[in-house]
Structure 1
Amino acid sequence: MWAIKKLNLDLDKAGENHFVQLNKLEELQNDTYDNAKIYKERTNAFHDKHIMKKSFEPGQKAWLFNSRLKFFLGKLRTKWEGPYKIIYVSPHGEVEIKSLKDEKTFKVNGQRLKPYIEGQAFQRDVEDALLVDPIYLDD
């Protein structure tokens, strides 16, 4: 006790100062949490604003994403098959499609489809190119 008196230290003021510092730290943590929440909301709103909504109707044509191709073939090969004709669209995103080639029908998730635009075509055939040595005129 004599050391406290000698240093002129007041325990009540020190405790009060410590309490104020803890309150400031808690306010800083709350502000940080609020700022992170605001940032996340704004980021989600920006992302959602740029998403294009897909809506399909019966009779429309669509491309089908073939997920099996992405594991086996080269990077320049297209992964979209089609076109397919849409027969039925459920409210939950399930789409029944029919192949125009062999008239088979099956159901797929609507996220695997994209609208077919007339005149748009993917070339599936690979052309062979003959590689020969260049002919020099000097020889």
Structure 2
Amino acid sequence: MMEKYGVTHRLSTVYHPQISGQVEVTNRELKRILERTVGENRALWSDKLEDALWAFRTAFKTSIGCTLYRLVYGKACHLPHEIEHNAYWALKHTNFDLRTAGDHRKLQLNELSELR
């Protein structure tokens, strides 16, 4: 059939993650998330891997204009009700009490300068 229409057929693969560098970028991002969550006790990194993957998959990616979760499943990712409620409460508490938050931040900065 291809010879009839003069088409030259060549075998190739469309997907080359090792060529695009995306694997390295993803691994670097996951490593950064793990470093921040594990802290000094690096022996527990395997316990935090699932949380790091969740954070990576649900973070908004500017290049694609959505989260990876939404790209794969076609819908937004919703947190369990208890966690979502606590997140809204913390946001509400922070937004309405800016003076206290500012004072707390100044205290933290003073403590940091004393440690130096």
Larger Rg: 1
TM-score by length of 1: 0.25
TM-score by length of 2: 0.29
Structure with the higher fraction of residues in helix conformation: 2
Structure with the higher fraction of residues in strand conformation: 1
The structure, 1 or 2, with the larger RCO (C-alpha pairs under 8 Å, 6+ apart) is 1
